[in-house]
Structures are given as C-alpha cells and as structure tokens.
A and B are shown apart, each in its own frame.
Chain A
Amino acid sequence: MHKPTTLRARVAWPLGLAVVFLAAARTTAFADDAQTIAWRRQAIAVSPDTPRGYVEYQNSCSVCHGPMPERPGTRALAAKYKGSLPAMLEDRTDMQPEFIRYIVRNGISVMPPFRKTEVTDAQLDAIVAYLTRPRR
C-alpha cells in the first residue's frame, strides 16, 4: 500500500483502498492485444497448434498479467522494474522455471498462491514452458 505517513492514512481507507492514491500517471504506453480482447469477448481462438501453455496462461494469468496498464500484475511490475525489465510476463526472457513455480504456489504482495484445484501441476508445467519458451 502507499507508504502511509500517518495512522489516518494507514488505518482507514474510506470507500476502499484507493483514497490513498493520487492521480496515477500513466507513464507506460500499452498496445491493445488482439488475443486478450478476443479472450474477453469471444474466448481464446484456439487451434490444434496453439501451445497449451499459452491457453493456460490466458485462462489463469493474463487477467492480471495481460497487456493493458490497468491489469494489476502488469501495472505492479511496470512500477517495480521501471523499464529495466518488461512489465508483461510474456515478454520476459529472464525467468527461471523454479521462480515461476514458486511465485504461483506462494504468491507475492497482493497476489495470492494458487491451489492445485485452480492450477494443477500439469497446467503449471505448461505455463512455465510457455513463459520460458525459446525466443528468436
């Protein structure tokens, strides 16, 4: 949460959390992603060739880590890395499989851990494979 300087700010946020925020500057430009919009509107267009990890990622992760600035995960990582790493997880090439597994099963900050009834070990393997796929 916004670093509070008084108990007033710390203890009570009338009408939710956001009153401690000032107007947020949208410093990062994000392009619309056709696939994400498709997910919202018509579901993912899946062909037999679509990598399973891509589908699992869209189902379980992109709602927070998708390509729009209001997605909480993307927004958080943009603030964390300030451009030194991509805010979009799908653009990252530095993540190790164990790191991804640890975060999914332990959570971080306001992101809670995911139970195995939500993301099975097999689904997690597919997500890991997608996020660590070889890039050209």
Chain B
Amino acid sequence: MRTPPGISPATFAAAVSQFEKVVGPQWVFTRDEDTRLYNDAYSPFLGEPEERWASAAVAPATVEEVQEIVRIANRHSVPIYAISTGRNLGYGGAAPAWSGCVVLDLKRMNRILEVNEENAYALVEPGVSYFDLYRYIQERKLKLWIDCPDPGWGSLVGNALDRGSGYTFPYLRNHFDAHCGMEVVLANGELLRTGMGALPNSRTWQQYKTGFGPWIDGLFSQSNMGVVTKMGFWLMPQPEAYFCGRVLVRRRDDLHELVRLITLLENSNISSGCPDSSSPLLGIGSIGAQARFLAVDEPLPADDPELAALRDKAEAGDPSGLEAYGRRKNLAYWTFDIKFYGPAKVVAAQWESAKEILSAIPEAWFEDQGEYRFPLTEEPRDHARYPEFGIPSLNNFSLGARSSTNPTPSHGHMWLAPIIPRTAEAIFEANRVFGEAARQFGIPQLRFNLPAWYWQRSAIFIFGFPVSENPAENRHHREVFFHLIDVAGKHGWAEYRTGPVFQDAVARQFSFNNHSLMRFQETLKDALDPNGILSPGRYGIWPKHLRKPR
C-alpha cells in the first residue's frame, strides 16, 4: 500500500480504517490491483514514473458519508481527490491531479432526485451518467431531452463542473451554464447549497439560478473549493421536429461573411442547434461527417494531383485556382450545417429566413440535409445525430478504436482545445500561427483546421493527440502540447479545459495584473481549505504548502 506524500503509514492506516467505518470496508480500495483502476487510461505519462496514481479510493453512497470522509481527511491531513464517474478520458480520467491522493469516488451516489417534465429540469447526484438519466426519462415516457456530450457514460455533474459541451440549444450546450443550483460539501465537512437552495422551504432551487447575493457556483467548477454532491440541470422539452440545412459558398474569403451571418442567426434565435462547418475543397470534414466515419462531407476525386497543387497554392495565399476548380466540379469552399428544433412549421420558416439572410453571400446555395419528427419511430440510422437528438452513446469512440480504416488503434488521446474569437479572421490567424509553431517544432504542417461551434459567442479549435504505449512518442506529444499552449497564450487564446498534466501551464496563461485571478483563487483556497486536502493542484490551484513560485 502506497501512502500520500508526507503522510506516515501509521497516519494513513488510521485514516483508511476510519474511512472503512464510514462506508464499509468493501468500498475502500487500497490494494494495488484496485487502486490502479483509478489511473488515467489515457495518461499522457502512460507507464512513466510521472503517471498520476492514487494511494487509495473511498466510495461513499450518501452526502453524510462524504461529509464524514472530508472531516477524517482533514483530521489526518490526507489529500482526497473527488471524481464523479471518472470518465473524462482525454482530460484526466479518474486519476488525481497530485499523485498519492485518496480518490473520493462518487460513482455510487447515483440517485436521480427529481425530474420535472413541466418545467424541464432535473436534480441529480454526481454518479448519475447521461445514460442513467436517459434511461430514467425513457422509462417514464417523459417528453424531455438531455443535452449530451459525445461520451454518454460521463456524469452530468462532472461534465458540467469541467465545463463540457453538447449539441442542442445554445443555453443548454454549455453544460455549466445549463446547471441550476448546487449542493456542496466544504473542506471542513459543512454542507452548503447555492442559489435558491439556500432558502429554506424554497421550491425554486432548479428554477432560479442566482438566489440572492454573490453567485458562487463558478467557484466549484474547474476548481477544488468543495465537493459537489447535488446539481440541478435544465433539460430540453422534446421538440416536434428537427431540421438540418446546409449553406455552401464558393470563395475562400466568403468565410468572413459566412461566420458573421451564422453567428447572427444563432444570436437571434433563428437557428437553434450547434452549427457545423466543413471545407469540401480543402478536404476538411464537418464534425458530423467525422462521426459518420467520413473524412469529408462530399466525395472528392481521389489522388487528384491538380487538386493537391491548388490546395497548396490556396494555403500559400492564392485561392483563385482552387475556387475555379470548385466551380468546375460544383464543390464548395466552405459549408455550414445549420440546425433547427421546434414545431415543424416554425422550423421550416426559420430555415426560409436563414436562407434569405445567407443569400447576401454571392453565389451561396443551399441543401436540405433532412428533417426528423419526434418521438422517433425507429433508431436513427445516422448515428452522427445521436447527440443532436439528446441520445447518449459512445459511438464516437469508434474514431480512435480499431476499424477497417484504422487497423492500428491508439491507446487513447488527449485534446488541445483553445478558445478563439468567432471570426474568420481569427480562424485564418490561428491556422497561420499554429502551422508556423508546428513547423518550428519539426512538424511539417498542421492541416488547415476549422473550429467547433459549441459555444454561442466563441469558437474552439480542437487538436487530438494520440496516447500510445511508446513513452518517446508520448514525450514528443507532450512537448508539442506544452509548446502550443504557450503559443496560443501569447495570442490571447487558451484551452477551455485540459487534463491535470497541463493544467498548471494553461492556468499560467491567465496572468493579467501579475496573476491576480490565480492569487484571488489561492486566497479563497487558503480560507476554505487551510489544510489543503481537497484535490490539490486541480486546475492549477495548489494549497499553500504545495505552491511553487510563479
């Protein structure tokens, strides 16, 4: 049995023994064969000494047990690291940010406490997965949808606290924004409820977010200020219809007006689903196409040397040849898929309105991508639509798993995902900057990248790096990853979330006024958790005794 750094075997044994009294010995894990299950399966340090490890794990079933565990941890200064379902693979999994922590595994806290159909909200514990809530809703035939991330085994609470995203209405796609009310166990074991939950006899905990006075919910996301034990979420009423329309444009520079108008449509509530972009001429598939295991949305002539040469010229700044090629072959330079949810008549009118607005782009043309009515009468055969229909799945793991087109699968992946402005100018600049940075690092070229559009008022670049069983390869990818974090930071771009290995590096980018934001967080951390027992190092926030000079 390994012990947390600085904790004697005797002290640790005493803490473990007390944990066992609280949850029962079967829910305290200290044997190596059990604790290694908490390693990050996609660790960027896979198999290396720096790979994060847990000294033990304890799995409470109730909030009272969580409170008692936190008190025991405080008495013995044993660090604990809270996880929900532990499935944010690519962002750290179930492993602690600081090796040696006892993982506080909340998977057994899996109660769905309330689902309100009339007002479309739910109250759940951290161990509730998207699959669990979906099953609950289907069993009761409730006319509600969940905004799901790609992997459905994640926790609603964990995903929201890590600020994950989904695919439906803008106000639901941002999962932290879609929450309403929290219950939190503080480091001293005290129980706190936020928003209207602080008002005894309130029946509006999941109906009004901010309560009275400072709204503190953000302190408990991407942080280590408390252990969230309940969280409310707004859900989506099942719509009558879904429609996807595509706009296609001819010229490279049309991207400026296209992004501006797509953003206008979203911010005006004319479109309502998550937009999705592609470039047939550059061979960049939309997210939807990738989820259908297609490289691109529209088939292109394979191995056309003319096309390859024209792409190179376009990337060097002269797109005229590629644009002419597109006209000849009737291929678009850029496309956007625009999604609508609502009554069928409204959706049809919104698409007509969107086409009118987008017709301001010369030569723009439009394609219907299909309408669906709900409830579905059969399983959607287009599995790219699963998350758009609020159906959790793990289908996107096929992108990394072995397949007929991918005979040598990776061991996992990690994501670099900087936020950039929602403009074509920023997209071109980010491609130039990341392309140059990659070349400096000995990588010939990053392909032109289109961002994802999960957030309503920004865009997000997403680069996937494989994790393999070859430490030299992983080391190289970590070096590139760290380098790109710095490069992005210098241009005012930073990751919306990242795994523990990279959290210090990203947090350092937010350095305005001599890191006043981090100094504020540290002030709060020291006040709320003076012994520094809660998730040390999570999102770059370290307790005083582990803090390094900036």
Cβ-defined contact, A115 with B107, below 8 A: yes
Cβ-defined contact, B284 with A14, below 8 A: yes
B 84-96 binary contact with A (CB < 8 Å = 1; else 0):
0111010001100
Cβ-defined contact, A21 with B450, below 8 A: no
Cβ-defined contact, B108 with A113, below 8 A: no
Known interface pairs A8-B445, A8-B447, A42-B139. Does A13 touch B404 (Cβ–Cβ under 8 Å)? Answer: no
Known interface pairs A75-B401, A115-B107. Does A13 touch B463 (Cβ–Cβ under 8 Å)? Answer: yes
Cβ-defined contact, A110 with B446, below 8 A: no
Residues of A within 8 A of B291 (CB): 18
Contact of B395 among A16, A42, A71 (CB under 8 A): A71
User: With an 8 A cutoff between CB atoms, is B308 at the interface?
Assistant: no
Cβ-defined contact, B37 with A115, below 8 A: yes
User: With an 8 A cutoff between CB atoms, is B397 at the interface?
Assistant: yes
User: With an 8 A cutoff between CB atoms, is A6 at the interface?
Assistant: yes
Which of B161-169, B211-219, B408-416, B486-494 lies on the face that meets chain A? Answer: B408-416
Cβ-defined contact, A43 with B449, below 8 A: no
Cβ-defined contact, A12 with B463, below 8 A: yes
Known interface pairs A11-B438, A37-B379. Does A43 touch B447 (Cβ–Cβ under 8 Å)? Answer: no
CA of A110 to CA of B464, assembled, Å:
14
Known interface pairs A7-B442, A15-B287. Does A1 touch B406 (Cβ–Cβ under 8 Å)? Answer: yes
Residues of B within 8 A of A77 (CB): 402
- Tally B residues with Cβ within 8 Å of A: 85
User: With an 8 A cutoff between CB atoms, is A17 at the interface?
Assistant: yes
User: With an 8 A cutoff between CB atoms, is B71 at the interface?
Assistant: no
CA of A106 to CA of B412, assembled, Å:
14
CA of A111 to CA of B59, assembled, Å:
23
Residues of B within 8 A of A72 (CB): 394-395, 397-398, 401
Cβ-defined contact, B413 with A63, below 8 A: no
Interchain Cβ contacts under 8 Å between A and B, 30 examples:
A1-B409, A1-B410, A8-B445, A8-B446, A12-B446, A12-B449, A12-B463, A13-B463, A14-B450, A15-B285, A16-B290, A18-B290, A18-B293, A19-B447, A21-B290, A23-B299, A24-B294, A25-B404, A27-B404, A37-B378, A37-B379, A63-B131, A75-B402, A75-B403, A76-B398, A109-B410, A110-B400, A110-B401, A110-B412, A115-B37
Interface residues of B (CB under 8 A from A): 27, 29, 33-34, 36-38, 41-42, 57, 59, 85-87, 89, 93-94, 105, 107-108, 127, 131, 134-135, 138-139, 141, 152-153, 284-285, 287, 289-291, 293-295, 299, 376, 378-379, 383, 391, 393-413, 438, 442-452, 461-466, 477, 480
Contacts beyond the supplied A12-B465, A18-B285, A76-B402: 13 A-B pairs with Cβ under 8 Å: A14-B446, A14-B449, A14-B462, A16-B396, A17-B290, A18-B289, A21-B405, A32-B379, A71-B395, A72-B398, A75-B401, A105-B37, A110-B411
